[in-house]
Amino acid sequence: MTTEHLPEHPDFLWRNPDPKSSYDAVIVGGGGHGLATAYYLAKNHGMTNIAILEKGWLAGGNMARNTTIIRSNYLWDESAAIYETALKLWEILPEELDYDFLFSQRGVMNLAHTLGDVRESIRRVGANKLNGVDAEWLDPQQVKELCPILNINDNIRYPVMGATYQPRAGIAKHDHVAWAFARKCDELGVDIIQNCEVTGFLKEGNRVVGVKTTRGTIHTEKVGLCAAGHSSVLAEMAGFRLPIQSHPLQALVSELHEPVHPTVVMSNHVHVYVSQAHKGELVMGAGVDSYNGYGQRGSFHVIEHQMAAAVELFPIFARAHVLRTWGGIVDTTLDASPIVGTTPVENMFVNCGWGTGGFKGTPAAGLTFAHTIATGEPHTLNKPFSLERFETGALIDEHGAAAVAH
Amino acid sequence: MLLISCPNCGPRDETEFHYGGQAHVAYPENPAELTDREWAEYLFYRDNTKGAFAERWLHSTGCRQWFNMLRDTVTYDIQAIYPMGQLRPATAPTAPSVTSPVSPEGAVK
């Protein structure tokens, strides 16, 4: 961990063009998913006359606010398939994008604190192995060997009764990931347009033909929505509904420390997940606020609860200082799985509902959503994540593996 | 943390309450006649308003009574608190509000 250094910034990352009057496709949302979608549209489908519209600055929303954890140890076949595809892409992307975004496969442990957790965790290890996802069950002693600062005493409120472990999981430097995609998109001819908020859509009958923005009207054949917490706001502008509820999810970092935390530790039960950033900050995530919210901040009692658990599990954290806290707006669904695919509006496609797990899915979301936009058809991997599943009842209930209850 | 004025107990910290989602979503009058689409609307589709939003709260560690609240989802200002069964009060939204094409009473009429 200490031998890695932040990569130098290239001199040139992307142009800042004015929007043209028309594009073959417009991606709404300049975060990780929007950038990855545009990248694969250009690379795999030869669509280069496309624009990414971002209401603020590039990757300044959830892409700048997540806790950078990447893993694929989900329970259900559909989720394991899409997240494992993402993980395999993460493994090759630094070379492909020619940008070292410090993908560090330091492993992820998901702790079990109750007998129920233990049974569920062992079941998930089995499910992962059947799906070709690397997974192991660790007893408390093995947990201690991997992360010596963890308190594995059995007389604490949340005793560590074991953990699932995915060795290939890890973290990546999220802002560098965004810049890596943005630079390649730009090289391929994609216009990245910042400070450009979508205010409405132009439709002919039920077909979208353009986008109204604060920087003028843009005509386009196809629209892909990648707006995370604001997806339902855009959908309402376009005249359809999404089964999405937006909640604030918060995280925090400590001041810089010597390397103490060699892996990633998550606890679904007590809602804390911790890794140590390359520079040395302890990065911690908390739960979501229970109520709907669009203010990018979280409630104090949520981090208070998380910190109490963190200090019990990692006693040495009691002397660490919090440097800053922040919140992002996560788009949650009732089955804790994303919605990717076609919409009731012709030529309009949606990629949303990733809830608290969007960052790790970035490359696979982009790859499969690009396929859907280019061909008008679902990709094999995103087909189960259609909007129709809420009518057919073919839900993908990932509450157990989504890490944050929502 | 929100400071919520329970109609029965007075102002208490948010941690005493449970959030119950969108208010005024009526159970279907004729459930047997609903299509799959209408069931999906009733079960899974809720407004996700950016602005003034009517929602249900339960004072779970106090009087254990449900009530409705009108709250701005951007500023988190609590604009009104009113009993279950009462119509939503007319309060101007303080943030840009996106109105649903579907009735605020829910999709099923």
Element (H, E) at A69: strand A69-70
For residue A290, give the nearest of B19, B44, B49 by CB distance: B19
Question: Quick check: helix, strand or coil at residue A171?
Answer: strand
Taking CB atoms and an 8 Å cutoff, what residues of chain A touch B61? none
Confidence of residue A2 (pLDDT cuts 50, 70, 90): very low
Tell me the pLDDT of chain B (109 aa) as tens digits.
Answer: 899 999 999 999 999 999 999 999 999 999 999 999 999 999 999 999 999 999 999 999 999 999 999 999 999 999 999 999 999 998 655 554 444 444 434 333 3
Token representation of residue A65: 């606010």
For residue B53, give the nearest of A240, A292, A391 by CB distance: A292
Cα separation, B40 vs A109, whole angstroms:
36
- What pLDDT is recorded for position B102? 40
Taking CB atoms and an 8 Å cutoff, what residues of chain A touch B41? 241
pLDDT digits (tens, 9 = 90+) for A351-389: 999 999 999 999 999 999 999 999 999 999 999 999 999
Q: Is the pLDDT of residue A168 over 80?
A: yes
Q: Is the pLDDT of residue A3 over 70?
A: no
Residue whose structure tokens are 């990245």: A192
For residue A294, give the nearest of B55, B73, B99 by CB distance: B73
Contact B101 A392 (CB under 8 A): no
Taking CB atoms and an 8 Å cutoff, what residues of chain B touch A300? 1
For residues A185-200, average pLDDT = 98
Confidence of residue A403 (pLDDT cuts 50, 70, 90): low
With CA atoms as reference, the chain B residue closest to A395 would be B44
SS3 track for B50-73: CCEEEEEEECCCCCCCEEEEEEEC
- Percent helix, strand and coil across chain B, each to the nearest 5: 15, 30, 55
**Nearest to A163, CA basis, from A152, A175, A149:** A152
Confidence of residue A73 (pLDDT cuts 50, 70, 90): very high
Contact A301 B45 (CB under 8 A): no
* Cα→Cα distances A134→A72, A86, A357, Å: 9, 14, 19
Q: Which of B4, B43, B44, B77 to mutate to test the interface with A (most CBs of A within 10 A)?
A: B44
**Nearest to A346, CA basis, from A367, A386, A376:** A376
- What pLDDT is recorded for position A14? 92
Question: Quick check: helix, strand or coil at residue A366?
Answer: helix
Taking CB atoms and an 8 Å cutoff, what residues of chain B touch A296? none
Contact A291 B19 (CB under 8 A): yes
What are A's interface residues with B at a Cβ cutoff of 8 A? 230, 232-233, 236-237, 239-246, 290-295, 299-301, 333-334, 390-393
Q: Is the pLDDT of residue A292 over 60?
A: yes
| Dihedrals phi, psi of A123, to nearest 5 degrees | -60, -40
Q: How many CB atoms lie within 10 A of CB A345?
A: 20
Distance from CA of A393 to the nearest CA of B (A): 8
Taking CB atoms and an 8 Å cutoff, what residues of chain B touch A246? 48, 73
Distance from CA of B82 to the nearest CA of A (A): 18
Cα separation, A164 vs A110, whole angstroms:
5
- Asked whether the beta carbons of A57 and A193 are under 8 A apart, the reply is no
CA atoms within 13 A on the CB side of A343: 29
Q: Is the pLDDT of residue A68 over 70?
A: yes
Cα separation, A276 vs A257, whole angstroms:
9
DSSP state, residue A10:
P
Q: Is the pLDDT of residue A8 over 70?
A: yes
- Indicate the pTM of the whole model: 0.93
- What pLDDT is recorded for position A401? 79
* Cα→Cα distances A214→A56, A195, A200, Å: 11, 8, 10
Contact B50 A244 (CB under 8 A): no
Contact B100 A294 (CB under 8 A): no
pLDDT digits (tens, 9 = 90+) for B34-47: 999 999 999 999 99
For residues A230-239, average pLDDT = 97
- What pLDDT is recorded for position A338? 97
Contact B2 A392 (CB under 8 A): no
- Asked whether the beta carbons of A207 and A347 are under 8 A apart, the reply is yes
